[in-house]
Copies of this chain bind each other. A is one copy, B any other.
């Protein structure tokens, strides 16, 4: 009887973990999206960005960082329009002010690393996950 109870609890826990994570765990988080616009002749080294730059920035964000993502631009979703962005890197954080406090002293180091992977000046969007 006691073991059946433990089994049931573990089973229910598995379901909760599975369901809980499917239901937008990001809602309410702040996203900082660093967006690299496409234009003819510009370059972007995705390998360096993924293996060096993003982990380096992430290492300064501590427990405030929930996750970060990287995406590679493929095309415009509107026919005959140019690709809007070559790449986007996004940090999901709990607190914008904590993020700002963490990156402010490192800003020059981050910018100095730009030239190692791109000649594009990024656009940065701060947004809130609604859903």
Contacts and interface: CB of A to CB of B under 8 A. Distances in A.
Interface of A: 3, 6-7, 10-11, 13-14, 17-18, 21-22, 24, 26, 30-35, 46, 50, 54, 67-78, 81, 83-85, 88, 96, 123-131
B131 A70 contact: yes
A74 B28 CA distance: 13
A124 B31 contact: no
Given A7-B6, A77-B34, A72 B125 contact: no
Nearest to A31: B71
A88 B124 contact: no
A78 to B, nearest CB: 5
Contacts of A73: 125-127
